[in-house]
Amino acid sequence: MTYCPSHTHSLNKSACSPYLYSTNIDIITNYQYVQPCPALLPCQCLCDMENKRLWIDCFNRKIKSLPILETIPTNNSIIEWSIDLSFNLFDNLNNSKWIPNNMHIGQLIFSGSLSYDLILQLNLIHRHLIDTLPYQQHLPIVNDDNEQGRFFDDYHEDDDTEEKHKYTLDESYNEYMRLLNELTLRLRADTEQIKSFALSLAGEPSSVSILYLDHNSLDSIPIEALYNATSLYELYLSYNNISHLPAYAFGFSHRLTRIDLSYNQISSIDNLTFQRHPNAFAGPFLIDHLDLSHNEITILEPNIFSYLVNLRFLKLKHNRIYSLSAQLWTGLYRLKYLDLSHNSIGNFTKAFYSSYLHELKYLKMTSNNINLVNSCEFLSLRALNKLYLSGNNLSSVDKCAFYGLSHKIAHSPVHIYLHSNHFETLDPCTFINFTRSTIHVENNPLICNCSFNYLLHARKSLVYTGQECGGGFAYKPQTKLTSPAVYKIHKAKGKKIVHNSITCRNTFQYYNNLCWKLDCSRICSTNERFIIQITTIATPNKTISKFQKAYFLIFFILLNTIFEKKIY
C-alpha cells in the first residue's frame, strides 16, 4: 500500500521513486523535496533528479541523537537512501536496530570535514549551508556547473596507475580549499566529533554500502559496527586517532573494496588484520584500494597482506617504515601501484624479489634514506613503467641495478626518476639498453665529462640540469651518431657554456666497447633462481569449507573413474 496524502492533486510522483511524492523543487539545486520522509524534522528528504538518488539531509541540524527512521509502505520493495549526518551534536552512536527492513542506505556520512573531493565525488549540494551562510564564497564549488567542469578538467588521472582524487593545485583551487577549511573549523566549533561508533551495519539485504567516518575522534576500529557487515563496499576512517589495527578488523566484510585509514596514529597492525574471520563465510579479499599513509608504521610483518589477492593500490607514504622484506608482498598478484615515499627506508636489498609483483607498474620510493642500489634489485618487476627514487641520498647505482626493467621497453617506455640526489656522475653502462626510456637526473651536482656525454648519445631521453652541461660535448664529424633526445631544463641565460668544443670520440669508443660486453643477464641469473625459491604460493585461508571438500572429493572420484576406464 503506497502513501497517498490528502492533497494528492497538487503533488506529482518523485523522479527517484514511485512511492514518494514531490512537494516542491529547490530552484538553486534543482532537487525535489519529497514526502513521506523516513526522518522527522529538522531533517529533510530530497531527490537528486539528475542522478535519481534520494537524500535524507540532516547536515548541521544540531540534533543530539540518531534520527528514528520510519517505515514507508512500499509493497515489499526496497528504497535506497543516502543519509548526510555530518556536523551534529552526537559523539557516541550505539544502536543495534535503526534501519527499517525495506530501506537500503547507499552512503552514510558522518564526515567532520567539507573536503572538496567529497563534495564532487558525491555530487553533494549542501542546501542548509546555502540557506544559513549565503555570504560564503563556497557557492561556486557546489552550484556553478562551469566551475565544476573546470576543476574536473584539472583533475588528472595517472595513465599507468589510475590513481584517483588528484587535482592540480592552481590558485583558484587553493582558494576554494582555504574557504572550505575555514568553514569546516567554523562548523566544528558548534558541533561534536564522534568518539564511539557501534551502529549495526549487518543485515540482508545490505544496510549500508559506503560509510564515511573521517575527520572524527575514533581511537579504535569500530569492530562492533563491522561485525557481520557483509554489505559494506567502502569505508573511510581517515583523520581519526586510531593507533592499532586488531586481528580480523574487517574479517566479515567480504564485499569491501576500499579502505581509507590515512592520517591516523597507527603504529601496530596485527598479522591477521586483513584475514577472514573464522566465523565468516568470506573475508575482505575484494579490497582493491588500501590507504595507510600518514601514520606511525615502522615495520610490516611478512604475509600481512596475503589475503588481499585483488589489491591494486597500496599507499604507505609518510610513515616510519625502515625495513622491507620480499615476503611482505605474498599474495599481491594484482598490485599495480605501490607508494613507499617519505619513509625511513635505508636499504631495500632483495626487498622486491617476489614473483607476486609481476603486475606492478608504479613504484614510488621518493624521500627515503636510500644511499645504494645494488645490482638486479628490480629483477622481478617486469611490468614496471615508473620508478621514483628521487630525494634520497644516492650518489651511485650499480651498472646492473635496473636490469629487468629494460625488458619492458619494447612494449612501453620506462621512466626512472633520480632527481634531487647526490650524483656527480653515472656509470655510462647503466642505461645501455634503455632505448625509448626517460631518465630524470635534475638537481644533482653533475660533473659534465666525457663519460656523462656517453649517456647523452645512447638513444634515450635524459632530463638534466646544470650550466656546465648546457651544450653537452662535441664529437668529430666522422663519428656517426644518432641525435639523442636530451631535455635540458633551467638553462643558464647569457652565460658562457663550458667544454662545448671538447672532443670525446675516443672515450665514446671505449665505453661503447665496454658497455656492450656487460652481461647483466649472467650476473643476475643467480638472483632469478633465488626469487623462485623464496616466492611462496599465497594461501588466503587455510580453512577448507565443506563445499570445497565435497567438490574435491567429486573431482577425484570422476578422475579415478576416467582413469579406470582407460585401463580396461
CA pseudo-torsion sign 40, 43, 48, 49: positive
> Which residues are CB-contacts of 346 (< 8 A; sequence separation ≥ 6)?
322, 368, 369, 370, 371
Instruction: Give residue 433's pLDDT.
Output: 78
Contact indicator for 23, 11 with CB cutoff of 8 Å: yes
Residue 459 domain flag: yes
Instruction: Give residue 151's pLDDT.
Output: 37
Instruction: Convert the pLDDT of each residue in 306-354 to its tens digit.
Output: 999 999 999 999 999 999 999 999 999 999 999 999 999 998 889 999 8
Residue 274 domain flag: no
Measuring CA to CA, which residue among 161, 535, 166 is closest to residue 384?
161
Residue 208 domain flag: no
Q: What is the pTM of this model?
A: 0.82
Residue 425 domain flag: yes
Residue 473 domain flag: yes
Instruction: Give residue 487's pLDDT.
Output: 52
Instruction: Convert the pLDDT of each residue in 539-551 to its tens digit.
Output: 444 444 445 445 5
Question: Could you tell me the CATH number of the domain that includes residue 350?
Answer: 3.80.10
Residue 563 domain flag: yes
Specify the number of domains making up the chain. Answer: 1
Residue with cell 603486475: 359
CA pseudo-torsion sign 444, 447, 448, 454: negative
Instruction: Give residue 122's pLDDT.
Output: 61
Residue 293 domain flag: no
Please state the length of the chain: 568
Residue 513 domain flag: yes
Instruction: Give residue 561's pLDDT.
Output: 55
Instruction: Give residue 7's pLDDT.
Output: 39
Task: Decide the pairing of beta strands 268-269 and 289-291.
Answer: unpaired
Instruction: Give residue 258's pLDDT.
Output: 97
Measuring CA to CA, which residue among 440, 447, 363 is closest to residue 405?
363
Instruction: Give residue 306's pLDDT.
Output: 93
Instruction: Give residue 566's pLDDT.
Output: 46
Low-confidence ranges of the chain (pLDDT < 70): 1-10, 28, 96, 116-173, 203-206, 406-411, 457-460, 466-503, 536-568
> Which residues are CB-contacts of 477 (< 8 A; sequence separation ≥ 6)?
none
Contact indicator for 229, 235 with CB cutoff of 8 Å: no
CA distances from 533 to 309, 493, 511 (A): 20, 56, 36
537 is in which domain, residue-wise? Answer: 332-568
